[in-house]
Every structure is written in structure tokens, then in C-alpha cells.
Structure 1
Amino acid sequence: MSYEMIAIAMFASMALLMATGQRVFAAIGAVASIAAIMLWGTGGAEIPFTAAMKVMNWYPMLTLPMFIFMGYVLSESKIADDLYKMFHVWMGPMPGGLAIGTIGLMVLVSAMNGLSVAGMAIGATIALPELLKRGYNKKMVTGVIQAGSSLGILVPPSVVLVLYAMIARQPVGQLWLAGVIPGLIMAALFILYIVICCRINPSWGPALNKEERDIPRAEKLRLLRSGLLPLGIFAVMMVPFVNGWTSLVESSAIGAMAAFSAAVFKKRMTKAVFESSIRNTLAISCMFMWIILAALGFGAIFDGLGAVKAIADLFTEQLGLSPWAILILMQLSFLVMGTFLDDTAMLVIVAPLFVPLVHALGFDLIWYGVLYTITCQIAYMTPPFGYNLFLMKAMAPPEISLRDIYGSIGPFVGIMILALILIMVFPQLALWLPNYVYG
């Protein structure tokens, strides 16, 4: 059997195992281990073992539990809720202000947690009921929550970009900085869309009534201080890192300690909050470690087969496709896979193939990490089986139907596609900040 057929058989076996409902890391790891033993005998068992040693020796892995713990502390202790109260008071008096404030909330929640699920949970359970109660257009605000929550995998400290960095062997700090400007551009485009909609149809986003706007200045300032606390935690964590005073791992530890100290200071660090944060951190950290272990083992088999070179030759020499055509085809494949897989599963399945191929085609892997992440955001919200669509249905109030959710995402998907095209056409939008900081 040729190496190309072996590679196809490995992918087919992995897809079959995942279709049976097996866990992602189990399907990938099992195929990698069995293929290694069948190809190279008992000595092939060293490949998964070597991948495990790589994970254990990967110092940046320590950032994962730190950032996940920080996000859960801020969420479980309700410190993140103060953000919405701040936006509610300060942005509510303008047409569409609460929807604009919700986008701001999502950006800050993303900066605290690094996972899109956290933004979705806070937006659907806290912001969405308030927006509906005040007469905001149902479809618009449902799309706002979904689009805003997707920023969690792009704005630092994105856990997905950490995972990509480990699999693609790229610096985590550069990837985070590369996601900043594209994330802010996307958030600004979302806000611009809300402003235009509410200018054309004022009933879509009515301003708060006089009674709700009539709040003493002292109360407004108090809410501003409490709402800015999470932003202060983010600054305490990121400023030393960006200036080179601390390493990435040290900054993650600072962020975790700052979040814990803030919860203690506000007398919200109860036993239940601490236990819940620890349990969730342990569960998600172990999940990511198993996935990285399986992905590295699978990638090692592919390197040994030379499958990446064979596929690159197929696209460039036999089919005669240009590098840009191949890149666009890869992005389209992410959109298809995103209808039934989450971002982590997509990455570990195709990273052994796509990342070396992108490098062989001469593209920057930091830039491609941002493209991958934006494409995942689009795939999350694309019918019929977008990951975020069903997550939104599970968390939204009863009056939000699946039809409303499907009907809300069209404009926001269009905005994301526009942002993706901008980053592809102007790579410096993603690369300028990491190049500037790292010289």
C-alpha cells in the first residue's frame, strides 16, 4: 500500500471512530498508535511516548490551567456580571446602546477567559433577557450574542491559539498579539452594523427610558469602578508581558492570582466558588492535554510517512493550483467541518496536514493561525449544524426559537467573511503588532 493510501486510511479510520461518538483524543490517539505499530512494529510505540514527553516538557503548557482558572474565578464569583451593569448604565441612554455595550462586554469577557463558551453563557443568561425586556429586535440581539461570544477564540488570552501554537510550534505570545487587531476590527464592524441598523430602524434598539437613565452620578461612578476591575486584571497580566518584563507563564500566573485576589477582596471567593473553579479548570486542562498528546502523535506518523509532501505535490504539480487557491480550499474545508465539529477537533484533525502544507507554500504560520481562528468563528455560526447555533438554543430564553437563531446570523457571518478577506489581503493587520513588540 502506498503512503498516500495509508494516510487516507488513517483519516477515514479516525472519522469513522468519531462518527461512533468516541472522544476526540481517543479517536486520534488510537489511530496514531495502531498505525505506528503496524508500520514500524513494536518500535512504533515509541512515537506516542515521545509525543507525551514533548507535552510534559512544554513549558508554555502551564499557561493553560492558569488562564482557565482566571476565567472561571471571574465568572463564578460574578465579577463579570459587574461589567454588564456598567455597560447598561453608561451605554443604555443611546439608541442601540445596550447592544453596543454587549459587544464591549463580550470583548472583555474574552480577554478574561479565552473560551467562546464563557461569553455565550454570560451573554445569553445576563444580557439577552435584559435586551428583550427593553424591546430590542429579537433577531439582531440574538446575532449580537453569538457573534460577540465567538471573539473568545481570537482575543487574547485565547486558549485555542495556545493549542494552535503548540501543534504548529509557533510562539504563543506572537499569536495572541496577532489576534488583537483582527479581533478589535471585527468588534468595531459589529458595532457599526448595530449603529446603522438602529439609525435606520430606531425601534430595533430603543434607548433606556428616563426613569432608568436617572441614576445618581455617584452610583454611575461606583459601577464604572467595579466594571473596570476585570479590565484592570487584564492590564496587570498583559502589560508586563508585552513590555518583556515577564514571560508568558509568569503573566498567566499573575492573571490567575489577580483574579483570585479580586474575588477575595470583594468577598465573593466562597468555598463553592473556589471548588467549582478548581474542578472546571482541572477538567478542561486535562482535556486539552490529552488532545495535544494525541495530535502530536498523529502528526509524528504523518511526518514519518511523508504524506504532507505527497499532498503538496498533488496540489501544486499534478493539479497545478496556485498557493492562494490551495489556501482558499483549506479555509473552505474548515467551514464544512465546522458544521459538525468544534474548533479543537478541527485543529487536531487537520493540523498534521495543513500546517506543514501552509509552511511549504510559503505562508506565515502566525498569520495563518489568525485565518484559521476567524474561519472557525464563521463555521461556528453557519447552518445547518453550526456549533454556536445549538449552544445558543440551549442557553437562550424560551421565546428565542431555533428559527430566530438561524435567521439572526446572516449579517454577522457576512461581517466575519469581510474581516477574513481583509486579513488575507492585508496580512500586516495581523502581523504588525507581533512584529512591533518582538522586533
Structure 2
Amino acid sequence: MSQEHIALFMFGSMMLMLFTGQRVFGAIGAIAAIAALALYGTGGQDIPFSAAMKLMKWYPLLTLPMFIFMGYVLSESKLADDLYRMFHVWFGNVNGGLAMGTIGLMVLISAMNGLSVAGMAIGATIALPELLRRGYDKQMVTGVIQAGSSLGILVPPSVVLVLYAMIARQPVGQLWLAGIIPGLMMAAMFVIYIWIRCRLNPALGPVADDLDQVTPQEKRKLLWAGALPLIIFASMMVPFVNGWTSLVESSAIGALAALTASILKRRMTWAVFHTCTKQTLVISCMFMWIILAALGFGAIFDGLGAVNAIDNLFTEQLGLSPWVILILMQLSFIIMGTFLDDTAMLVIVAPLYVPLVGSLGFDLIWYGVLYTITTQIAYMTPPFGYNLFLMRAMAPPEITLRDIYRSIIPFVGVMVTALAIIMAFPEIALWLPGYVYGN
């Protein structure tokens, strides 16, 4: 059997195991281990051992539990509730203002946690009931929650970009900086769309009718409560951007600042602390197992020369241009996103796509941003988008699956537009990391 056929058999076996509902790290790691033993005999056991050592020696991985802990401290201590109340008071007197404020809430939640699921959970439990109670159109606000949660893996500290950095062997700091401007640009595009739509049809987002009861003192107090997560984020990112601290040191500052803030506000109880530490351990271990499995699988693929075979197929035999190949890659993410999450998609195709992207002459930092946006588009694309069913599980009974499908169409259009802009103008993603690291 040729090396190309072995690689194809490995890939097909892994996809089959994933279709059966196996855990991602179990499916990928099992295929990697079986292939290593079959191809190299007892010497194949050195491959997972080498991957484990590489993982343990990767110093930036220490940021992963730090940022996950910071996110859980801020969310479990109910600081997100204060944020939403602030947006309601300050933006509620504008048609669609609360929906636009929800996008702002999602950006801040992203800066707290780095996981899109966290933004979805907070938006569905805090923002969605309030928006519906205040007469907002259910289809529009359902789309707002899903679109806003998509910023979770783009705005730093993105946990998924840490995983991409490990697999693509790219600096985490540069990837995070590359996601800032595209993430804020996409959030601004969501806000502009909501503003235009509510301007044309004010009934979709009525003005709040209870703001007269809010005193100026309460407004200022809420502004401070809403600014607290921004202060925590600034205390972490400003020293890093200016080169005063390393990435790991900045993550420790962020975790300590969040913990201190929750204690000072008397929100840190033993139950909250237990939940935060437990969830941090669970998610950190899950990601480490996935990275370990992906490194082992990638080592086998590299050894078989599968990447060179695919490169030869696209460029030599089919004669496709680099941009056509890149677009086909993005389309494949959208297709896979109908039944896989972003982590699974990355570890499945990274051994194939990342080296191919580099050989085609594209920047791997820029491609990391394209990957995150494309996977979030895939999450929200009917009929089997991951976020669609997650929203259905969290939404109240009056929001049907049909409402959820229809709600996301315009926001997917906005995200596709943002993706096209970043593909056409790579400097949108590359300027900030180039500026910071160039200095």
C-alpha cells in the first residue's frame, strides 16, 4: 500500500470514528497510535511520547488555564449581569440599542473567556429573556445572540487560537493580536446592521420605557461596573503589548485581577471558587488531550508525506491557483462545521491544510484568523450548524428551530462580507502584530 493510500485510510478511519460519536481526542489519538504501531512496530510508541514531551515543554500553554480561570471567575461572579444592566441603561433610549449593547456585551465576554460557548450561554440566559420581554423581534435577537457569540474565538484571549498556535507552530501572541481588529470590525458591522434595520423598522427594537426611573448616580455607578472587565483586560494586555511582560505573565495578571475584583465586590464564595477551578481543570485537560492527539496524528501524516501528495494534486495535477485552493479549504470548513465543532475541525485538517497554506505562500497568522471566522460561519449555517442546535437548547419555547434558522441568515451574510474583506486586505489582521512585534 502506498503512503498516500495509508494517509487516506487514516483520514477516513478517523472521520468514521467521529461519526460514531467518539470523543475527538479518543478518535484522533487511537488512529494515530494504531497507525504508529502498524507502520513502525514497537518504535512507534516514541511518537506519542515525543508529542507529550513537546506539549509539556510548550511554555505558552500555561496561558490556557489562566485565561479559562479568568473567564469563569468573571462569569460565575455575575459581573456579566452588571455589564448587561449598564448597556440597557446607556443604550436603551435608542431603537435597537439594547441589541447593539448585547453585541458589546459579547465582545467583553469574549475578552473574559475566549470560548464562543460561554458567550452563547451568557447571552441566552441573560440577554435573550430581557430582549424578548422588552418587545424585541424574536428572530432578530436570536440572530444577535448567535452572531455575538461567534466573537468568542476571535477576540483575545481566544482559547482556540492557542490550539491553532500549537498545531501550526505559530506565536500565540501574534495570533491574538491578529484577531483584535478583525473581531472589532465584525462587531462594528453587526452593530451597523442592527442600527440600519431598526432605523428602517423601529418595531423590531423598541425604545426602553423604564429609563426615566434611573438616576444619574445609578448610571455612573453602572458605568463603573461595566468598565471593571475592561480594566481587568487592560491590566493584562497593556503590559504585554508594550513588552513589559511575557504572554504567560500577562495571563497570570489577568487571572489574579479577576479574582481580586470578585473578592472586592464580595462575589467570590467557596461555591463559586470551586466551580471556577473545577471547570478550569476540566476544559484545560480536554484541550491538552486534543493537542496531544493532534500532535501524534500530525507526526504520522508528516512522515507519510501526505501533505506533499495533496500539494501535488492541487497545484500540479489539477492546476489550481493558490487562491482557488484557499477558497476550497474555506468551503470545506463550512461543510465540516455542520457536524463538527471548531476544535475537531482544526485537529482533523491542520496536518493537511497548515503546511499546504505555507507552501502556497500565504501567511499562517493571517490564515489563523480566516480559520476562526470560517468555522464560526460554519457553526451558524443550516441545516446542522453547531450553534443552531445549541441555541435551540437554550432558547425559550416560543422560539422555534425555524425562527433560529431564519434569524441567522443576515448575520451570516455580514460575516461572509467580513471574511471577504480580510481575505482581500490581509493587513487588517497583520498590521497590529507586525507593529507590536516589529517594535
The answer, yes or no, to whether TM exceeds 0.5 is yes
1:317 aligns with 2:316: yes
Q: How does 1:155-194 map to 2 (within 5 A)?
A: 155-194=155-194
Measured after TM superposition, the shift of residue 369 of structure 1 is 0.2
Question: Amino acid of the residue matched to residue 103 of structure 1?
Answer: I
Residues 174-226 of structure 1 show CA distances to partners (whole Å, capped at 9, x for unaligned) of 000100111111001100110111111010111111x4333110010011111
Match in the other structure for 1:385: 384
Q: Report 1:271-310 matches (<5 A).
A: 271-310=270-309
Cα distance in 2, alignment partners of residues 246 and 390 from structure 1: 41
> 1:124 — aligned with what?
124
Superposition deviation, residue 299 in structure 1: 0.5
Task: Tell me if structure 2 keeps the 8 A contact 1:147–1:412.
Answer: yes
Question: Aligned AA for 1:11?
Answer: F
Q: Offset of 1:129 from its aligned partner?
A: 0.7
Q: Which residue of 2 aligns with 1:426?
A: 425
Deviation of 1:45 after TM superposition, in Å, equals: 1.2
Match of 1:414 in 2: 413
Cα distance in 2 for partners of 1:239, 1:212 equals: 35
What is the deviation of 1:81? 1.2
| Stretches of structure 1 lacking an aligned partner (at least 5 in a row) | none
Identical amino acids, percent of aligned pairs: 78
Equivalent in the alignment of 1:372? 371
Residue identity matched to 2:177: L
**Aligned residue for 2:255?**
256
How much has 1:435 moved relative to structure 2?
A: 0.3
Is the 8 Å Cα contact of residues 28 and 294 (structure 1) preserved in structure 2? yes
One-letter code of the match for 1:120?
Answer: M
Instruction: State how 1:127-142 maps to structure 2 within 5 Å.
Output: 127-142=127-142
Is the 8 Å Cα contact of residues 342 and 380 (structure 1) preserved in structure 2? yes
Q: 1:203 and 1:433 mapped to 2: Cα distance?
A: 40
CA distance in 1, matches of 2:103, 2:212: 20
Q: Which letter does structure 2 place at the counterpart of 1:315?
A: F
> Following the alignment from structure 1 to structure 2, what is the Cα–Cα distance between the partners of residues 138 and 103?
16
State the Cα distance separating 1:20 from its structure 2 match: 1.6
How far apart in 2 are the matches of 1:340 and 1:198?
Answer: 33
Residue 72 of structure 1: aligned partner: 72
SS at match of 1:245: coil
TM-score, with structure 2 as normaliser: 0.99
Which runs of 4 or more aligned residues in structure 1 lie more than 4 Å from their structure 2 counterparts after TM superposition? Answer: none
Structure 2: how far apart are the matches of 1:120 and 1:425? 29
What CA distance in whole angstroms lies between the structure 1 residues aligned with 2:392 and 2:301? 39
Q: Which amino acid aligns with 1:232?
A: I
Query: Which residue of 1 is the match for residue 144 of structure 2?
Result: 144
Look up the equivalent residue of 1:221 and give its one-letter code: R
- 1:233 corresponds to which residue? 232
Residue 88 of structure 2 is matched in structure 1 by: 88
Q: Write out aligned runs for 1:52-63 (5 A).
A: 52-63=52-63
Task: Give the CA deviation at 1:252.
Answer: 0.4
The superposition leaves residues 127-164 of structure 1 with CA deviations (integer Å, 9 ceiling, x where unpaired) of 11111111111111100000001100000000011110
* Partners of 2:81 and 2:213 in 1: CA distance: 21
Q: Deviations over 1:344-393 (max 9, x none)?
A: 00000000000001011110000000000000110010011101001111
Distance 2:66 2:153 in 1: 16
- Report if the CA contact (8 A) 1:89-1:213 is conserved: no
Q: Secondary structure of the residue that 2:382 maps to in structure 1?
A: coil
Partner of 2:353: 354
**CA separation in 2, counterparts of 1:266 and 1:432?**
38
Query: How big is each residue's C-alpha offset from its partner over 1:13-48, in whole Å with a ceiling of 9 and x where there is no partner?
Result: 101111221110011011111111111111111111
Deviations 1:304-345 (A, max 9, x none): 111101110010000100111110100000000000000000
Distance 1:215 1:268 in 2: 24
Equivalent AA in structure 1 for residue 411 of structure 2:
F
Which sits farther off after the overlay, 14-23 or 260-269? 14-23
How many angstroms apart in 2 are the aligned matches of 1:408 and 1:434? 35
Distance in 1, Cα, partners of 2:372 & 2:20 = 27
Q: Which amino acid aligns with 2:164?
A: Y
Unaligned segments of structure 2, at least 5 residues = none
- Is the contact made by 1:77 and 1:273 (CA closer than 8 Å) also made in structure 2? yes
1:394 aligns with 2:393: yes
SS at match of 1:287: helix
Tell me by how many angstroms 1:80 deviates: 1.6
Q: What is the alpha-carbon distance in structure 2 between the residues aligned to residue 20 and residue 205 of structure 1?
A: 43
Separation (CA, whole Å) in 2 of partners of 1:214 and 1:186 = 34
Q: Please say if 1:39 is aligned against 2:50.
A: no
> Cα offset for 1:56?
0.7
Q: Distance in 1 between matches of 2:287 and 2:188?
A: 31
Deviation at residue 400 of structure 1 after TM alignment: 1.1
Write the distance in 2 (CA, Å) between the matches of 1:132 and 1:65.
35
Secondary structure of the residue that 2:95 maps to in structure 1?
coil
What SS does the corresponding residue of 2:22 show, helix, strand or coil? coil
Please, what TM-score do these two structures have when normalized by structure 1?
A: 0.99
The superposition leaves residues 280-303 of structure 1 with CA deviations (integer Å, 9 ceiling, x where unpaired) of 000000000000000000000011
1:335 aligns with 334
CA distance in 1, matches of 2:151, 2:232: 19
Specify the SS of the correspondent of 2:94. Answer: coil
3-state DSSP of counterpart to 1:37: helix
In structure 1, what is the Cα distance between the partners aligned to 2:323 and 2:162? 26
Q: Does the CA-based 8 Å contact 1:140-1:408 persist in structure 2?
A: yes
Root mean square deviation of aligned Cα: 0.7
Q: Which amino acid aligns with 2:393?
A: A
